[in-house]
Protein backbone atom coordinates (compact mmCIF):
# COMPACT_ATOMS: atom_id res chain seq x y z
CA UNK A 1 0.00 0.00 0.00
CA UNK A 2 1.35 3.39 -0.84
CA UNK A 3 2.36 5.82 1.81
CA UNK A 4 -0.20 8.44 0.91
CA UNK A 5 -3.22 6.19 1.40
CA UNK A 6 -1.86 5.10 4.76
CA UNK A 7 -1.62 8.67 5.83
CA UNK A 8 -5.08 9.62 4.63
CA UNK A 9 -7.05 8.67 7.76
CA UNK A 10 -4.48 10.25 10.02
CA UNK A 11 -5.13 13.59 8.36
CA UNK A 12 -8.57 13.55 9.91
CA UNK A 13 -7.50 12.96 13.48
CA UNK A 14 -7.85 15.76 15.93
CA UNK A 15 -4.44 16.30 17.32
CA UNK A 16 -1.53 16.13 15.02
CA UNK A 17 -2.34 18.27 12.06
CA UNK A 18 -2.84 21.92 11.37
CA UNK A 19 -6.29 22.90 10.17
CA UNK A 20 -6.31 22.69 6.40
CA UNK A 21 -7.14 25.87 4.54
CA UNK A 22 -9.47 25.74 1.57
CA UNK A 23 -8.10 27.15 -1.66
CA UNK A 24 -8.97 30.71 -2.68
CA UNK A 25 -11.19 29.69 -5.58
CA UNK A 26 -13.14 27.28 -3.36
CA UNK A 27 -13.50 30.08 -0.84
CA UNK A 28 -14.88 32.49 -3.43
CA UNK A 29 -17.44 29.94 -4.63
CA UNK A 30 -18.64 29.20 -1.11
CA UNK A 31 -21.80 31.21 -0.26
CA UNK A 32 -20.88 30.89 3.42
CA UNK A 33 -17.76 33.00 2.77
CA UNK A 34 -19.87 35.80 1.27
CA UNK A 35 -22.28 35.58 4.17
CA UNK A 36 -19.50 35.85 6.75
CA UNK A 37 -17.88 38.78 4.97
CA UNK A 38 -21.02 40.53 3.72
CA UNK A 39 -20.25 43.80 5.48
CA UNK A 40 -16.66 43.97 4.25
CA UNK A 41 -17.61 43.07 0.69
CA UNK A 42 -20.45 45.60 0.82
CA UNK A 43 -18.22 48.35 2.18
CA UNK A 44 -15.50 47.74 -0.41
CA UNK A 45 -18.13 47.61 -3.15
CA UNK A 46 -19.69 50.90 -2.04
CA UNK A 47 -16.30 52.61 -1.78
CA UNK A 48 -15.42 51.52 -5.34
CA UNK A 49 -18.80 52.53 -6.80
CA UNK A 50 -18.96 55.90 -5.04
CA UNK A 51 -15.25 56.51 -5.70
CA UNK A 52 -15.79 56.13 -9.44
CA UNK A 53 -19.10 58.00 -9.57
CA UNK A 54 -17.97 60.88 -7.40
CA UNK A 55 -14.18 61.15 -6.82
CA UNK A 56 -14.76 63.60 -3.94
CA UNK A 57 -16.02 60.59 -1.98
CA UNK A 58 -12.44 59.32 -1.67
CA UNK A 59 -10.99 62.66 -0.54
CA UNK A 60 -9.32 62.58 2.87
CA UNK A 61 -11.71 65.23 4.18
CA UNK A 62 -14.77 63.24 3.16
CA UNK A 63 -13.42 59.97 4.53
CA UNK A 64 -12.69 61.69 7.85
CA UNK A 65 -16.21 63.13 7.89
CA UNK A 66 -17.62 59.71 7.09
CA UNK A 67 -15.77 58.08 10.00
CA UNK A 68 -16.86 60.88 12.32
CA UNK A 69 -20.47 60.46 11.27
CA UNK A 70 -20.31 56.69 11.80
CA UNK A 71 -18.88 56.79 15.34
CA UNK A 72 -22.27 56.89 17.12
CA UNK A 73 -23.72 54.08 15.03
CA UNK A 74 -20.61 51.94 15.55
CA UNK A 75 -20.91 52.27 19.34
CA UNK A 76 -24.63 51.47 19.23
CA UNK A 77 -24.20 48.46 16.98
CA UNK A 78 -21.60 47.05 19.40
CA UNK A 79 -24.14 47.24 22.22
CA UNK A 80 -26.81 45.71 20.01
CA UNK A 81 -24.38 42.91 19.08
CA UNK A 82 -24.03 41.78 22.69
CA UNK A 83 -27.80 41.56 23.04
CA UNK A 84 -28.38 39.87 19.69
CA UNK A 85 -25.65 37.33 20.54
CA UNK A 86 -27.87 36.15 23.41
CA UNK A 87 -30.69 35.75 20.85
CA UNK A 88 -32.37 38.93 22.13
CA UNK A 89 -32.96 42.35 20.63
CA UNK A 90 -32.78 45.77 22.27
CA UNK A 91 -35.49 48.00 20.79
CA UNK A 92 -35.09 50.56 23.57
CA UNK A 93 -31.60 51.65 22.49
CA UNK A 94 -32.54 54.85 20.69
CA UNK A 95 -34.89 55.80 23.52
CA UNK A 96 -32.06 55.18 26.00
CA UNK A 97 -29.80 57.45 23.91
CA UNK A 98 -32.45 60.18 24.12
CA UNK A 99 -32.92 59.79 27.89
CA UNK A 100 -29.13 59.76 28.41
CA UNK A 101 -28.84 62.98 26.39
CA UNK A 102 -31.65 64.66 28.35
CA UNK A 103 -30.16 63.67 31.72
CA UNK A 104 -26.78 64.93 30.55
CA UNK A 105 -28.37 68.24 29.50
CA UNK A 106 -30.41 68.70 32.67
CA UNK A 107 -27.61 67.83 35.11
CA UNK A 108 -25.24 70.13 33.22
CA UNK A 109 -27.83 72.93 33.14
CA UNK A 110 -28.35 72.51 36.89
CA UNK A 111 -24.70 73.42 37.33
CA UNK A 112 -23.28 70.11 38.55
CA UNK A 113 -20.54 70.11 35.96
CA UNK A 114 -20.13 68.24 32.71
CA UNK A 115 -18.28 65.24 34.13
CA UNK A 116 -20.97 64.38 36.66
CA UNK A 117 -23.53 64.94 33.89
CA UNK A 118 -21.76 62.42 31.63
CA UNK A 119 -21.38 59.87 34.43
CA UNK A 120 -25.05 60.15 35.38
CA UNK A 121 -26.08 59.78 31.74
CA UNK A 122 -24.00 56.58 31.49
CA UNK A 123 -25.46 55.27 34.76
CA UNK A 124 -29.02 56.03 33.66
CA UNK A 125 -28.72 54.23 30.31
CA UNK A 126 -26.91 51.29 31.93
CA UNK A 127 -29.75 51.10 34.47
CA UNK A 128 -32.27 50.93 31.61
CA UNK A 129 -30.28 48.06 30.11
CA UNK A 130 -30.07 46.30 33.46
CA UNK A 131 -33.81 46.70 33.94
CA UNK A 132 -34.47 45.26 30.47
CA UNK A 133 -32.34 42.22 31.21
CA UNK A 134 -33.78 41.80 34.69
CA UNK A 135 -37.40 41.84 33.52
CA UNK A 136 -36.62 39.51 30.62
CA UNK A 137 -34.86 36.89 32.75
CA UNK A 138 -36.85 37.10 35.99
CA UNK A 139 -40.23 37.69 34.34
CA UNK A 140 -39.49 35.23 31.53
CA UNK A 141 -40.99 37.64 29.00
CA UNK A 142 -39.78 37.75 25.37
CA UNK A 143 -37.02 40.29 24.72
CA UNK A 144 -39.00 41.92 21.96
CA UNK A 145 -41.96 42.72 24.21
CA UNK A 146 -39.93 44.00 27.16
CA UNK A 147 -37.70 46.31 25.13
CA UNK A 148 -40.70 47.53 23.14
CA UNK A 149 -42.24 48.44 26.49
CA UNK A 150 -39.13 50.23 27.73
CA UNK A 151 -38.85 51.99 24.37
CA UNK A 152 -42.19 53.63 25.08
CA UNK A 153 -41.70 54.09 28.83
CA UNK A 154 -38.24 55.62 28.46
CA UNK A 155 -39.46 57.93 25.71
CA UNK A 156 -42.22 59.12 28.04
CA UNK A 157 -39.77 59.59 30.89
CA UNK A 158 -37.55 61.67 28.64
CA UNK A 159 -40.48 63.89 27.62
CA UNK A 160 -41.58 64.31 31.25
CA UNK A 161 -38.07 65.20 32.45
CA UNK A 162 -37.39 67.63 29.65
CA UNK A 163 -40.89 69.06 29.36
CA UNK A 164 -40.51 68.46 25.65
CA UNK A 165 -37.95 71.26 25.37
CA UNK A 166 -34.38 70.87 24.12
CA UNK A 167 -31.60 71.85 26.52
CA UNK A 168 -28.54 73.66 25.23
CA UNK A 169 -25.29 72.12 26.40
CA UNK A 170 -22.51 74.66 26.09
CA UNK A 171 -19.49 72.78 27.34
CA UNK A 172 -15.94 73.23 26.18
CA UNK A 173 -15.24 69.59 27.04
CA UNK A 174 -17.97 68.34 24.73
CA UNK A 175 -17.02 70.89 22.07
CA UNK A 176 -13.46 69.55 22.14
CA UNK A 177 -14.75 65.98 22.09
CA UNK A 178 -16.81 66.69 18.99
CA UNK A 179 -14.37 68.81 17.01
CA UNK A 180 -10.92 67.91 18.30
CA UNK A 181 -8.74 65.27 16.77
CA UNK A 182 -5.73 63.18 17.57
CA UNK A 183 -3.63 62.01 14.65
CA UNK A 184 -5.76 61.35 11.60
CA UNK A 185 -9.06 60.83 13.44
CA UNK A 186 -11.43 62.97 15.47
CA UNK A 187 -11.95 62.05 19.12
CA UNK A 188 -15.37 60.39 18.48
CA UNK A 189 -13.66 58.04 16.03
CA UNK A 190 -11.12 57.13 18.71
CA UNK A 191 -13.95 56.49 21.16
CA UNK A 192 -15.54 54.13 18.63
CA UNK A 193 -12.19 52.41 17.97
CA UNK A 194 -11.63 51.95 21.70
CA UNK A 195 -15.15 50.53 22.07
CA UNK A 196 -14.50 48.08 19.22
CA UNK A 197 -11.22 46.91 20.77
CA UNK A 198 -12.63 46.50 24.28
CA UNK A 199 -15.75 44.72 23.00
CA UNK A 200 -13.67 42.42 20.79
CA UNK A 201 -11.50 41.43 23.75
CA UNK A 202 -14.55 40.87 25.95
CA UNK A 203 -16.25 38.71 23.33
CA UNK A 204 -13.29 36.60 22.26
CA UNK A 205 -10.85 36.60 25.14
CA UNK A 206 -12.89 36.33 28.31
CA UNK A 207 -14.99 33.63 29.93
CA UNK A 208 -17.94 36.01 29.79
CA UNK A 209 -17.68 36.11 25.99
CA UNK A 210 -17.80 32.33 25.65
CA UNK A 211 -20.67 32.11 28.14
CA UNK A 212 -22.51 34.84 26.21
CA UNK A 213 -22.31 32.83 22.98
CA UNK A 214 -23.24 29.62 24.81
CA UNK A 215 -26.27 31.34 26.34
CA UNK A 216 -27.35 32.62 22.96
CA UNK A 217 -26.67 29.31 21.23
CA UNK A 218 -28.52 26.97 23.59
CA UNK A 219 -29.55 28.56 26.85
CA UNK A 220 -30.86 25.30 28.29
CA UNK A 221 -27.66 23.36 27.62
CA UNK A 222 -25.55 26.22 28.91
CA UNK A 223 -27.59 26.20 32.09
CA UNK A 224 -27.17 22.43 32.42
CA UNK A 225 -23.39 22.96 32.27
CA UNK A 226 -23.57 25.40 35.17
CA UNK A 227 -23.53 28.72 33.30
CA UNK A 228 -25.79 31.28 34.94
CA UNK A 229 -27.58 32.27 31.78
CA UNK A 230 -29.82 34.82 33.52
CA UNK A 231 -26.83 36.81 34.73
CA UNK A 232 -25.19 36.62 31.32
CA UNK A 233 -28.31 37.99 29.69
CA UNK A 234 -28.66 40.83 32.20
CA UNK A 235 -24.98 41.69 31.65
CA UNK A 236 -25.50 41.78 27.87
CA UNK A 237 -28.40 44.23 28.21
CA UNK A 238 -26.43 46.35 30.66
CA UNK A 239 -23.57 46.55 28.15
CA UNK A 240 -26.11 47.59 25.54
CA UNK A 241 -27.34 50.33 27.88
CA UNK A 242 -23.78 51.49 28.54
CA UNK A 243 -23.15 51.75 24.79
CA UNK A 244 -26.34 53.81 24.47
CA UNK A 245 -24.93 56.15 27.13
CA UNK A 246 -21.63 56.57 25.28
CA UNK A 247 -23.61 57.25 22.12
CA UNK A 248 -25.71 59.83 24.00
CA UNK A 249 -22.57 61.74 25.04
CA UNK A 250 -21.22 61.65 21.48
CA UNK A 251 -24.61 62.80 20.16
CA UNK A 252 -24.91 65.75 22.55
CA UNK A 253 -21.31 66.71 21.75
CA UNK A 254 -22.11 66.59 18.04
CA UNK A 255 -25.29 68.67 18.02
CA UNK A 256 -24.59 70.86 21.05
CA UNK A 257 -27.91 70.26 22.74
CA UNK A 258 -30.01 67.53 24.32
CA UNK A 259 -33.16 67.00 22.31
CA UNK A 260 -36.22 65.06 23.44
CA UNK A 261 -36.41 63.38 20.05
CA UNK A 262 -35.93 59.75 19.24
CA UNK A 263 -33.77 59.05 16.26
CA UNK A 264 -35.48 55.85 15.09
CA UNK A 265 -33.05 55.45 12.21
CA UNK A 266 -30.31 54.97 14.85
CA UNK A 267 -32.20 52.00 16.31
CA UNK A 268 -33.03 50.43 12.96
CA UNK A 269 -29.53 51.02 11.63
CA UNK A 270 -27.98 49.45 14.74
CA UNK A 271 -29.96 46.26 14.07
CA UNK A 272 -29.17 46.54 10.36
CA UNK A 273 -25.43 46.87 11.10
CA UNK A 274 -25.58 43.78 13.29
CA UNK A 275 -27.30 41.81 10.52
CA UNK A 276 -24.82 43.08 7.92
CA UNK A 277 -22.01 42.09 10.28
CA UNK A 278 -22.98 38.43 10.06
CA UNK A 279 -24.29 38.15 13.63
CA UNK A 280 -27.00 35.50 13.86
CA UNK A 281 -30.32 36.89 15.06
CA UNK A 282 -30.91 33.47 16.62
CA UNK A 283 -27.93 34.06 18.88
CA UNK A 284 -24.77 32.11 19.57
CA UNK A 285 -22.77 33.61 16.79
CA UNK A 286 -21.25 37.07 16.84
CA UNK A 287 -18.31 39.26 16.00
CA UNK A 288 -17.53 42.88 16.79
CA UNK A 289 -15.65 43.87 13.64
CA UNK A 290 -18.53 42.69 11.45
CA UNK A 291 -21.20 44.99 12.92
CA UNK A 292 -18.68 47.87 13.18
CA UNK A 293 -17.95 47.53 9.47
CA UNK A 294 -21.68 47.14 8.86
CA UNK A 295 -22.21 50.49 10.60
CA UNK A 296 -19.46 52.04 8.49
CA UNK A 297 -21.10 50.65 5.36
CA UNK A 298 -24.51 52.11 6.20
CA UNK A 299 -22.93 55.50 6.89
CA UNK A 300 -20.94 55.29 3.67
CA UNK A 301 -24.14 54.55 1.78
CA UNK A 302 -25.86 57.67 3.10
CA UNK A 303 -22.73 59.76 2.62
CA UNK A 304 -22.23 58.58 -0.96
CA UNK A 305 -25.85 59.09 -1.94
CA UNK A 306 -25.70 62.61 -0.53
CA UNK A 307 -22.53 63.36 -2.53
CA UNK A 308 -24.29 62.07 -5.64
CA UNK A 309 -27.09 64.56 -4.88
CA UNK A 310 -29.62 61.78 -4.49
CA UNK A 311 -32.59 63.03 -2.51
CA UNK A 312 -32.52 62.13 1.19
CA UNK A 313 -35.88 60.46 0.66
CA UNK A 314 -34.15 57.64 -1.23
CA UNK A 315 -31.73 56.82 1.58
CA UNK A 316 -34.06 54.74 3.78
CA UNK A 317 -35.10 52.85 0.65
CA UNK A 318 -31.47 52.02 -0.13
CA UNK A 319 -30.71 51.02 3.47
CA UNK A 320 -33.76 48.75 3.56
CA UNK A 321 -32.89 47.06 0.29
CA UNK A 322 -29.33 46.40 1.43
CA UNK A 323 -30.37 44.97 4.80
CA UNK A 324 -32.86 42.55 3.25
CA UNK A 325 -30.28 41.55 0.66
CA UNK A 326 -27.77 40.89 3.42
CA UNK A 327 -30.32 38.79 5.32
CA UNK A 328 -30.90 36.74 2.17
CA UNK A 329 -27.17 36.12 1.75
CA UNK A 330 -27.00 35.24 5.45
CA UNK A 331 -29.20 32.23 4.86
CA UNK A 332 -26.19 30.56 3.26
CA UNK A 333 -24.13 31.00 6.38
CA UNK A 334 -23.02 27.67 7.79
The residues that touch another protein, with contacts defined as CB under 8 A, are 12-15, 19, 201, 204-207, 209-211, 213-214, 216-218, 220-222, 224-227, 280, 283-285, 334
Of the pair 213, 253, the CB lying nearest another protein is at 213
Q: Find the shortest distance in angstroms from Cβ 159 to another protein.
A: 40
CB 66 within 8 A of CB 51: no
Q: Find the shortest distance in angstroms from Cβ 105 to another protein.
A: 34
Report the Cα 28 to chain-centroid distance in Å.
27
Q: Find the shortest distance in angstroms from Cβ 211 to another protein.
A: 7
Of the pair 2, 18, the CB lying nearest another protein is at 18
Of the pair 227, 301, the CB lying nearest another protein is at 227
Dihedral of CA atoms 106, 107, 113, 116 in degrees, nearest 10, equals -140
CB 67 within 8 A of CB 47: no
Of the pair 210, 268, the CB lying nearest another protein is at 210
Q: Find the shortest distance in angstroms from Cβ 192 to another protein.
A: 22
Q: How far apart, in whole angstroms, are the C-alpha atoms of residue 31 and residue 16?
A: 30
Of the pair 7, 309, the CB lying nearest another protein is at 7
Q: How far apart, in whole angstroms, are the C-alpha atoms of residue 163 and residue 136?
A: 30
Q: Find the shortest distance in angstroms from Cβ 123 to another protein.
A: 21
Q: Find the shortest distance in angstroms from Cβ 114 to another protein.
A: 28
Closest CA to 251 of 240, 241, 262, 236: 262
Of the pair 125, 229, the CB lying nearest another protein is at 229
Amino acid sequence: MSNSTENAPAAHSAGAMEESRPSLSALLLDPSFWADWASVVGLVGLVIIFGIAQPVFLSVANLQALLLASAILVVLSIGQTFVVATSGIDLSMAAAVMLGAIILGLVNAAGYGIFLACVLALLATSAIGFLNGFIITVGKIPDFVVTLGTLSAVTGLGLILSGGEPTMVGSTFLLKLASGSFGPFGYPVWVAIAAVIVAHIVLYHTRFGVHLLATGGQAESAGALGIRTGRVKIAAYTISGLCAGIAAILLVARIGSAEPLINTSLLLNSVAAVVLGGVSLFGGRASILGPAIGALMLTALVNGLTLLSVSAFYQPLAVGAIVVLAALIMRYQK
